[in-house]
Structure 1
Amino acid sequence: MKPKSSVVWNYFNEVSGNTAKCKLCQKIYSRKGGTTTSLKSHLKFVHATELEEFAKLETEKKDTVQPSTSTPVQEVTKQITLKDTLTKNQKWCSSDPKSIEIEKLISEMISLQDLPFTFVEDCDEQIKNLITKCQKNATQFNHPQIAQSELHKIQKEQLNQDVLGVVQEYNTRCNSTFYMLERMIKIQDSLCFYASKHNIPQISPEEWLQLKKLFTILHSFEEITRNMSDINTSISSVIPLIHTLKHSLQIEDNKPDTNEIFKTVIKCTIDQMNSRFEDHHSYKLFAIATYLDPRYKGKIFSEVIKEEVESELMSLFNGGNKSANEVQNIDVPA
C-alpha cells in the first residue's frame, strides 16, 4: 500500500477509502472523493490548537529536500528545452485543450464531491448525523416495491395528497442530497405516517425544523449551481452570482429562527467559500466583463474598484501593450 504523504494523517486513522477516524476526538468523518480536504477542515474548526502544529509540520515537510532517485539519463531527459523556456510564461487561451481539460476536472470535483454538503458536514456533527438519518430512511424505499406501494397508498387514500416517491441520494449526481431533503420535506406527513407503522428511524419534530432550515440555507447553493452551469451564462455573471450567494447566507444568518448551530454552519460555509474561490473572484477579466454587462453596470463594486476597472479599459482602448490574456489581478469584494 502506498504510504500516506499528507501530514494530516498524523491526526487521523483511515477507516475505509471514504472515511477516517480522528485520533483527537475519536469521531469518524467522511472523505468524499478520497481527498483530505474535509480532514483539514475538521482540524481547522474543531481542533484549533492542533491546527498550528499541523501547519508547522506541513511547512517543515515542504522545506525538506528529498533525495533524488533519478538516474543520470533520467536527469538529462528532464532538462527544460529552449522551446519550453520561451513558452513557460505564456498563459493558455480558453480554447487550449489543456485549459479545457483543467476546467473539466475542476467542474467534476465540485459536482462529484458535492461541495455545499461537504462544507456543511465539516461544520457540525449534529447536522451530519441528521443527513445520515435521512439517507437511511430514504434507503428503506430504494428496492422494496411493497414499501413504495404502501407509501403511495397512504398519500392517495389516507392523506389525499399527490403520489410522490422518495428521492434517493447518488454520489455521482450533483446536489442529490439537496433533492433528497427537498422531497422528504414535501412528503413529511406520509413519511411520518409510514414510520409510525414500521420499524424505521423516526425524525422528531425538532429534527424536521432543522431539516427545513438546512434546506433553506442550501437552496441558494442549488440555484446558483444551476445558473452557473447554464450554457448561456457568461463570465460577467460569475462575480454577481457568488456575491448573491454570500448575501443570501448573511440574510439567513440574521433571521431570528437561526440558532447557534446554523450560525456556525453559515460562518463555516462562507469561510470555506472564501478559501476555495478567492482567486476566482479577483481575476480582472471577470471584473471587466461584469462592469461592461448592462445588467450589472458595476453596481456591486466600490468606487475604488470601479476606477481601477475603468483605468484598465482605457488602457485597452488606447492600444496599450496589454492583451486580454496578460491583464493582472484586481481585488474584487467577495
Structure 2
Amino acid sequence: MIKGLSLVWKYFKKSTDKKLATCLICQKEYRTSGNTSNLRDHLKRMHPNMENENDRCSSGSSSILSSMRSIDSHFKRGAEYDPTSSRKKEIDKALARLIGVDLQPFSIVNHEGFRSYTKILDPRYVLPSKTTLKNVHIQNMYEQCRSKLRDLLSAVEYLAITTDCWTSAATESYITVTCQFIDPDFSMRTAVLSTMPLLEATNHNADNIAKSLHDIFINYDILDKVTYIVTDNASNITKACEILKKKNLPCLAHTLNLVVQNSLLQDKDNIHLAPLLQKCKTIVTFFKKSSNATELFKKAQNTETPLKLIQEVATRWNSSYMMIKRILETIDAISSVLMANRKAPEPFTEEEMVTLKQVEKILSLFYTLTVRCSGNGLTISLIIPLVNGLYRNLCEMETKIDNVTALRLCKSLKEGVVERLFPYEKRTATKISTLLDPRFKKKAFISILNANSAAMLLESEMNCIAPSVSERPIENISQPGGDPLFQFLEDARNEEVTSRKVDNIITKRQYLERPNLIQSANILDFWKTSKDDFIPMKTVALKYFCIPATSTESERTFSKCGVVSSERRNRLKPKNVDKIVFLNKNHWLS
C-alpha cells in the first residue's frame, strides 16, 4: 500500500479519467469529487464488514498486505472478461432475457445473494450496473425483438388487434395493444405491440383512445393491415373503432360473462336464487374471517391437501360457479363445523343442496366454454359452433331439471344466449370463418339461412381477391365506340372474367361437398397444403382466421403489467414498463 493512500482504495477501482470509482464488491459507480467520503460512506452502508476490516488494517502494514492479497485472490481482478469478449456479451444477453422473461427488477444486480450466485457460476463475469442493464442491455434486446416483430408484420397481409385500458398501482392509465396474425409458415402468432399511457393520460374518451391506437398502428406500419379490433363491450372502445374506421368484434368471453351475471343478479323473477347465493357468500365469509373455523374446516376434510373455500367476486368471471362448486366439494366438512358453532351461519338445508347441485351443473357449461374460448390463438371460426353447442346443451338440460329455482335460471340463461350470443351468427367475420373451417362448414350453423348467406359472402370475397376481378367491374370492361376490328379482344376479356367467377363458384362447391375434417384437425395445415385451385379461398381464410374470439390476450398482459408496475416498483417509468412487458410477452422472438 502506498504511503498516504486511503485504505478505501482496496475496495474501489479508479476510472481512466480518475473521475469515477467502481466498487469491486458490487460494481456500484461513484464520482470521487477529489475525496473518498462518499466511497467510505458506501462501504459503511452496503459492506459494513469490509469497513470494519478497513479500520483493523490501519494497525499494521502486515495486516494490510494480507488483506490486499485476500481481496486480489477473491475478486481475481486480472481474470475478468474483457468487455468486448463474446462470452461476456452472451451472459449479458442472457441476463437481459432473465429480466424480461421472469419479470425481475433491474436492481437484482445489486442483490447480495444474486451477486454471490453469479460469482460462483462464473468468477470471471462482472455484473453490469443497474443503469447499464436498463439503458444498454435491455434496450438492445428490446430494439432487436421489435425489429424482428416489424419484419414479421411486414410479411403478412392481414392481422387483428385486441386492446383494453387499465390503471397501474401508481394510478397511471395505460392502453395495451396486442396483435394476432398468421405467419408465412401458416403458424398462428400473438404478440404485444405496446403498453403505454394514453396520449392524454387522464382522458379515456373515444377520441383519445382512437388517437393512441392510430399512433401505434402507424409506428408498426400496420394501419391498412388491421382487419378487426376485438374488445370488451365498453362504449368508448367501440366508438374508438368507429373513428378509426375499423370493424369491431365484441369479446366472446366478456359477452358470456354478461349473460351469466344478468341471469344471476338481475333476474327478479327468480326470487329464491339471490338469497341462496347470498347465503353461500355469508358462509364463505364466516370461514375466511375466523381462523379457528378455518382450522376446524381443514381438519374436518381429513386429507393432506385440504381445499379452501372460494368467495364470489362480481368482476371475476365464473366466480359464482367456482364458489358453489367448492362448497359442494367440501359440504360435509362445512356442515360439521357450522353445526358445532352456535355463532356460525345456518347450514344448508336439503332443498338448498339440491338447488345448488343443479345450478352448479348449469353454470359448468358456461365455465367450460369460457375456458375453451380463452385459449391462446383461438380463432373466431369456433364462436358459432360453440354457441350452438351451448344452446343445445341448455335445451337438453332444461328437460331434466326438476328444481324450480334451477329451471328458472336455465330458462333465463337460454334467453340471454339468444339475445347476446346468437347475433354472432349474423356477423360477416364469424360466418365466413366458420364456413372456411373444414371441421364445421355449414353444419355448425344454427340457421340454414345464415349458412347460405355465409356462402354468398364467401363467393363475393373470392371474386374481390381475384386480380382480374378487382381491376374493374365486368360492366365497365366493354368500351362503346371502340375499334370494331378489335372487339374480339374485349369479348375475350369479358369471357375471362366471367370464367374466373365461375371457377370460384366451382371451387366453393367442391370445398363444401368434401367431408368435414375431424375436430382435432389443424385447420391451418389444411389450408397450407391445399391445392393452387383454392388460392382465392385460402386468401380469404388467412384474412379471417387471424381474428381471435376474445380480447383475453390483452387482459393476460394486464396481469404481467401488475407484476412489473407493482407497489414495490411504482417508480418504474412507463417506457420501461413497456419494454419489460414487451420482452416478457414476446420472448419467443429473442
Confirm whether residue 258 of structure 1 aligns to residue 402 of structure 2.
yes
Letter in 1 for 2:324: L
Of 183, 192, 201, 2:335 maps to: 192
The Cα offsets for residues 115-159 of structure 1, whole Å up to 9 and x where unpaired, read as: 414313433120111111000000011132221111111112xxx
161 and 228 in structure 1: CA distance in 2 versus 1, 3 angstrom threshold: same
Confirm whether residue 94 of structure 1 aligns to residue 239 of structure 2.
no
The Cα offsets for residues 209-238 of structure 1, whole Å up to 9 and x where unpaired, read as: 100000000000111111222222111001
Partner of 2:208: none
Letter in 2 for 1:309: A
Aligned-partner Cα distance in 1 for 2:240–2:252: 10
Of 116, 135, 146, 2:260 maps to: 116
Q: Is the 8 A contact 1:252 1:258 kept in 2?
A: no
Aligned-partner Cα distance in 2 for 1:248–1:108: 18
RMSD of aligned C-alpha atoms?
Answer: 3.3
197 and 215 in structure 1: CA distance in 2 versus 1, 3 angstrom threshold: same
Higher strand residue share: 2
Bigger CA drift: 181-190 or 101-110?
A: 101-110
Aligned-partner Cα distance in 2 for 1:240–1:307: 16
Confirm whether residue 307 of structure 1 aligns to residue 469 of structure 2.
no
Confirm whether residue 128 of structure 1 aligns to residue 274 of structure 2.
yes
Partner of 2:463: 318
Aligned-partner Cα distance in 2 for 1:153–1:268: 39
Partner of 2:300: 154
Confirm whether residue 139 of structure 1 aligns to residue 273 of structure 2.
no
Aligned-partner Cα distance in 1 for 2:319–2:278: 13
Identity %: 22
Q: Write out aligned runs for 1:15-34 (5 A).
A: none
Q: Is the 8 A contact 2:425 2:450 kept in 1?
A: no
Q: Is the 8 A contact 2:259 2:413 kept in 1?
A: no
Confirm whether residue 201 of structure 1 aligns to residue 338 of structure 2.
no
Confirm whether residue 171 of structure 1 aligns to residue 317 of structure 2.
no
Q: Please report the TM-score for the alignment, with normalisation by the length of structure 1.
A: 0.60
100 and 164 in structure 1: CA distance in 2 versus 1, 3 angstrom threshold: farther
Aligned-partner Cα distance in 1 for 2:414–2:333: 35
Letter in 1 for 2:326: R
Please report how far the alpha carbon of residue 288 of structure 1 lies from its aligned counterpart in structure 2 after TM superposition.
1.1
Partner of 1:47: none
95 and 173 in structure 1: CA distance in 2 versus 1, 3 angstrom threshold: closer
In structure 2, runs of 5+ residues without a counterpart are 1-225, 232-236, 242-247, 474-538, 541-590
Please report how far the alpha carbon of residue 171 of structure 1 lies from its aligned counterpart in structure 2 after TM superposition.
2.8
Aligned-partner Cα distance in 1 for 2:239–2:227: 9
Partner of 2:431: 287
Aligned-partner Cα distance in 1 for 2:399–2:354: 17
Q: Rg larger in 1 or in 2?
A: 2
Please report how far the alpha carbon of residue 109 of structure 1 lies from its aligned counterpart in structure 2 after TM superposition.
6.0
Partner of 1:232: 377
Q: Which structure has more RCO (C-alpha within 8 Å, separation ≥ 6)?
A: 2
305 and 104 in structure 1: CA distance in 2 versus 1, 3 angstrom threshold: closer
Letter in 2 for 1:149: E
Q: Is the 8 A contact 1:292 1:298 kept in 2?
A: no
Partner of 1:277: 421
In structure 1, runs of 5+ residues without a counterpart are 1-91, 325-334
Aligned-partner Cα distance in 2 for 1:290–1:171: 32
162 and 309 in structure 1: CA distance in 2 versus 1, 3 angstrom threshold: same
Q: Is the 8 A contact 2:435 2:442 kept in 1?
A: yes
Partner of 1:247: 392
298 and 218 in structure 1: CA distance in 2 versus 1, 3 angstrom threshold: same
Partner of 1:59: none
Bigger CA drift: 174-183 or 95-104?
A: 95-104
Q: Secondary structure at the match of 1:298?
A: helix
Aligned-partner Cα distance in 1 for 2:299–2:230: 55
Aligned-partner Cα distance in 2 for 1:106–1:299: 23
Q: Please report the TM-score for the alignment, with normalisation by the length of structure 2.
A: 0.35
Q: Is the 8 A contact 2:384 2:434 kept in 1?
A: yes
Give aligned pairs, total.
230
Letter in 2 for 1:211: L
